[in-house]
Amino acid sequence: MEKLSHALRGWLPRSLRMQLLAFLLAAVVLAGAVQGALAYRSALDEADALFDYHMQQTALALRSGLPVDAQGLGPGLDPQDENHEFIVQVWTNEGLRIFESAVGAALPQIAVLGFTNVQARGGTYRVFSMQTRSQVIQVAQNMAARQGMARSLALRTLAPLAFMVPLLVLAVWWGVSRSLAPVERVRRQLAQRQADDLSPVSDAQLPDEVQPLVSELNLLFERVQRAFEAQQHFVADAAHELRSPLAALSLQLQVLQRAGDDAARAAAAERLSAGIDRATRLVEQLLALARQEAAATPAEPVDLRAVAQLALADVAPAAQARGTDAGLLDAGAATVPAIVQGSAEALRMLVRNLLDNAIKYTPPGGQVDVQVRTEADGQAVLLTVEDSGPGIDPEHRDRALQRFVRVGNGDSSAAATGSGLGLAIVQAIAQRHGAVVELGASDRLGGLRAGVRFAIKNIAARA
């Protein structure tokens, strides 16, 4: 069976139009042939029945026993003509033939009444015999002539069918071409596109079987477009942001080379090492932002509270170095999961960037608290990170989520040393997860309160 399937696939054309036309036209021709054969056979049977009826009616017309004029039954009959319609003979009950419709056309007397076939005169005759009180009437017909007339009648019945089959073929061809016209339109649209044209393909009037394919193609175009944009942004951002750090590193290297004593060289080397660390951190954040903007990983159930604990462990060394108290509030609820749909690694990066931002902007010895809770209506999970730092002025909070925007409050120097990408990465990850980032003031600690609200129903629908 598998070999037959492979053979059929190799024999059939690859064009969907040609496959449909081949199948439908074969079906039309096969159905027409079967219908023609059935109609032909039915017409033959009906012709036989009609001729038998005529023979019977002819015999019944002669049952009165009146003299029959041969010219009345078959005027101008040639006794040598084997194709005349009927041969009529009348016999007495004693076996004496008293009438024949044509001289020399006599058939043997048949003892069987009703219909029968007999061999006579070099052919087959269909004979109907009927007995009255005084005579036996026989009506015969040559089967060759009978079958010839029956075939002629049957062929006449096939004429309309022979006329309709080509019309059906044209109708099938027109219907298939019309049905596939939208598919051809989509093909032309794609063939005429430039390599950088990723706009959606129109799915208007497409068949239901093809529309999902075009929809998925549009989704693919959308993902590729996002990847291209992320690549372009990364190149532009890297060219913009790396110019200054690399120039600073070059200057610091020159200072190190010109240092005259060990103390100057040590100070220059320390500044160079700090500059390398900042450039490395900037490159890492640029790569992380590009990955999050272009990523399309499938969603899975993630315990946001467990993710927050892992992120706290990641930033613990930095918090200890600054003497910052960073921890998770509601420790008693740590065993209660707060499930959202998304990527565990991306969410861990989101929390880690919020914590990095809070620790960096909080003065040494400050406090950073993380809280994860499910809202009372069960429709959302809320992640908040609060710090005791200077916070962000209300007029600058919307800008703080943009790339390379460094905002601060008070006399904090963190804004000058940061890259302005931490909150932008948070925003990109939140958008991937259908979440909303809100910046506000912390009533409890006095600094910044960064909240990320995950709508559970929306995320589940996206997954």
Q: pLDDT tens digits, residue range 436-457?
A: 888 888 888 888 999 999 887 5
Q: How confident is the model at residue 385 (pLDDT cuts 50, 70, 90)?
A: very high
Is the per-residue pLDDT at 333 higher than 70? no
Q: Strands, E, within 329-447: which ranges? A: 339-342, 367-374, 380-387, 435-441
pLDDT 10s digits, 9-32:
555 556 666 777 777 778 878 887
Percent of the chain with pLDDT over 70: 76
Task: Say whether domain 298-462 belongs to CATH 3.40.50.2300.
Answer: no
pLDDT 10s digits, 88-103:
888 887 778 787 776 5
The shares of helix, strand and coil residues in the chain, as percent rounded to the nearest 5, are 55, 15, 30
Terminal Cα-to-Cα distance of the chain (whole angstroms): 40
**pLDDT number for residue 79:** 41
Domain borders along the chain are: 182-228, 298-462
Average pLDDT value for residue range 62-80:
49
Please give the DSSP secondary-structure letter assigned to residue 418: S
CB atoms within 10 A of CB 233: 16
Q: Two tokens at 123? A: 């052919």
CB 391 within 8 A of CB 442: yes
Average pLDDT value for residue range 223-238:
71
CB atoms within 10 A of CB 195: 5
Q: Two tokens at 429? A: 């990850």
Average pLDDT value for residue range 244-268:
75
**pLDDT number for residue 462:** 40
Task: Kindly report the pTM of this predicted structure.
Answer: 0.49
Report d(CA 266, CA 271) in Å as an integer. Answer: 9
**pLDDT number for residue 80:** 43
Burial track 328-348 (b if 16+ CB lie within 10 A, e otherwise): beeeeeeeebbebbbbbebbb
Is the per-residue pLDDT at 59 higher than 80? yes
Q: Which amino acid is it at 228?
A: F
Q: Which amino acid is it at 88?
A: V
Q: How confident is the model at residue 290 (pLDDT cuts 50, 70, 90)?
A: low
**pLDDT number for residue 239:** 63
Average pLDDT value for residue range 61-88:
53
Q: How confident is the model at residue 407 (pLDDT cuts 50, 70, 90)?
A: low
